[in-house]
Amino acid sequence: MLNLDLRTVLLSYTLCNLICAVVTFSLWRQNRSRFGGLGLCMTNFLLNFVGILLLSLRGIISDFLSIVLGNTLLAAATLLLYMGLAKFLERKINQVHNYIFLGLYVVLQSWFTYGNPDLQYRTILFSVVIVFFIGQIVWMLFTIHDSFIFTIIKELRIISIFYVLLGVGRIIYASVIPQGDDLLKTRPFETYVFLGFQVIYVSATFYFFLMVNKRLVHKLEADIVERRNTESELLLSQEKFLKAFINSPDPMLISRMEDGLILDANEAFERLVGHNRAEVLGSTTLKLGIWANPDERAKVIKHMETFGRLREYEFLGRTKEGQVINLVYSGETIIINSEKCLISILQDVSSQKVSERIVQIRLDLWEYSSDHSIIELMTRALDLLEDLTFSKISFFHVVLDDGKDLLLQAWSTRTKEIFCKAEGENKHYSLDKAGVWGDSVRERRPVIHNDYAKLATKNGLPEGHAPVIRELTVPIFYKNKIEAVLGVGNKDSEYTDKDVALIENVSSVVWTIIRQKQADDKILQLNEKLESLAMTDELTKIANRRAFFIKGAEEITRARRYHLPLSLIMLDIDRFKLINDTLGHDSGDFALQCVATTLVEGVREVDIVGRLGGEEFGVILPNTKIEDAKKLAERLRIAIADNSDLKTKLKLDITASFGVAEYLVQIKNLDELLKNSDTAMYKAKNGGRNRVELFTSELG
């Protein structure tokens, strides 16, 4: 060994690092997905290879490459080794101080290369860096708490300690023995040092390889144990799933996604659809008729193919007996024998949907009743009931007060437009002659006829009547008296007690609304009558003074807002007191009625005729100029004077004096306009009566 020069040793060391890099590359490529840090360890050997190669070329290449870069790569490689081991051993260590230390080393290395060239200081400085980094590796290896890891790094701990001791020895030697100026011409000790580094790196690579393989074997053993546990848990899980599947209160089935073939189903599913197990297994949901609309299944399958699962999809289903039910579907895709399958859960929410629908129907009908007639309300209720019970025809009969006769009050919209062309609305039926649909009234209970054709007691149907397949009729009670009967018919499946309960519930609600509607309509009629009485002159049946002023004020406002003409006629029957005194008040009342009738017949519908009091009348003429108002007043004057009824009954000539005024901007209200008309009217009286006068500013 004494005959070996340092350059030869460095080249040998270079070759060893290359071999170590190749070995660690193989480890990294095969296990990089299992363990971290292998790439950093591989990079350490690559940097060592390049760094030692640069050192061995001292004197051939520049000092920067050989001294500064070569030593920096060796120091950085040692740090990468520390970082790689830490990551491999799953130790999270802050490396900031090491980065700073490495940077400081590069600065000092450059100074002792160019600023103050000194091989001795460079040797000491490099050895200190190596001892600092390797010392941390030793500390890390001795502080591992994992028992398995602690056992597989025994050899690596020993190698790391030798590495530190070799570095410390080099520091002591370089501090005591002068190094000269050329690394390749230093004393033999350096040759032994680099041989020692070479042995350590080769040993470290060998034991690192063993450590990775031991850990790999340990991981494989752990995976085998975990897989066995998983298989055991899977078997247990399958057993639990099977028990849960069979005993679940929710209907469940497993089917093949491609064609819907049912592989398994629990008892709850069989009860839901009404098919036994032999009918279910080997069939499909489409063949069993579970989908009321087969297109719904296509939508579900398309969604499952895209997303793999579906939650709470609502659709209409059908039982073996043909009953339509509301179902909620939830499912998920699973793989069975390499085939994509579905595990599905169905929930029957028909009762919930019916309850929600009844509440909605109640609200709908209450709102509908506010601006529709009772017949329209009945028709609306029948339409909603048909949708709710899946019926095709329905009717409403009212039981008359005598309890012996029925009145066909309403049919549903679909019954009238599609199924039934017979005449019958508002037609009376004697209960004794009514068909089997009258049994519910006679027997005072709901009646179901699911096979109408076989009934021996049925009567013939009138021409144009819808054919009846099956029917359900329910009497509607109020205070223990039957007031109406509601019937539905031609449901695709048989009517059941559930339908009876549903119809009774809704019909009770409907009749309550109808009775309330009847009461409200009666109150409205009374209110309208009272309002009319309050606004009508009792004797002449025209607007009284109050109504005249209300409507007149509205016309004044309209004329002012839209700049429209407005005129007012005021008239007074001439010598009316004489009529009362000579012929009596009955004759006076008759005269007032005749004058009022003449005025109403002589004006437009938009004009307002009112009795202002006694024998005074007023006529408001919207959108009328005073010239036209005067012409109208003249026609009215003549009509009163020529009234044949007055001449025939009273044997008197009745005349009236008229005053006409127009609305002007300066007029503030109806009182002022009446005052002007009154002034003109008195001018007519003072001028000889039975004449028409216009109000002018001179009269004011």
User: Is residue 205 within 8 Å of residue 23, measured between CB atoms?
Assistant: yes
State whether residue 144 is helix, strand or coil. Answer: coil
Token pair, residue 205, equals 């690579």
Residue 103 neighbours by CB distance under 10 Å: 10
User: How far lies 78's CA from each of 23, 295, 310, in Å?
Assistant: 17, 70, 56
Q: Which residue has the tokens 């004489």?
A: 578
Q: Which among 86, 82, 93 has a CA at the least distance from the CA of 129? A: 82
Buried b (16+ CB within 10 A) or exposed e, 571-583: bbbbebeebbeeb
Residues with a known catalytic role: 615
DSSP secondary-structure letter at 536?
B
Rg of the chain taking only CA atoms, in angstroms: 56
Q: What DSSP character marks residue 272?
A: H
Q: Dihedrals φ, ψ of 608, to 5°?
A: -115, 115
Contact 420, 464 (CB under 8 A): yes
CA atoms of 626 and 664, how far apart (whole Å): 11
Contact 658, 684 (CB under 8 A): yes
Which tokens is 461 given?
């149907």
User: CA–CA separation, 119 vs 175, rounded Å?
Assistant: 11
End-to-end CA distance of the chain: 149
Which spans in 370-410 are helix H?
374-389
Do residues 621 and 629 touch, judged by C-beta distance below 8 A? Answer: yes
Contacts of 330 by beta carbon, 8 Å cutoff, 6+ apart: 310, 311, 312, 313, 344, 345, 347
Furthest C-alpha separation in the chain: 171
The conformation of residue 261, written as its DSSP 8-state character, comes to B
Q: Is 524 exposed, middle or buried (0-12, 13-18, 19+ CB in 10 A)?
A: exposed
Geometric angle at alpha carbon 176, from 173 and 179, rounded to 5°:
75
Beta strand 405-411 with 428-430: parallel, antiparallel or unpaired?
A: antiparallel
CA distance 475 to 267: 39
As a whole number of angstroms, the distance between CA 652 and CA 666 comes to: 42
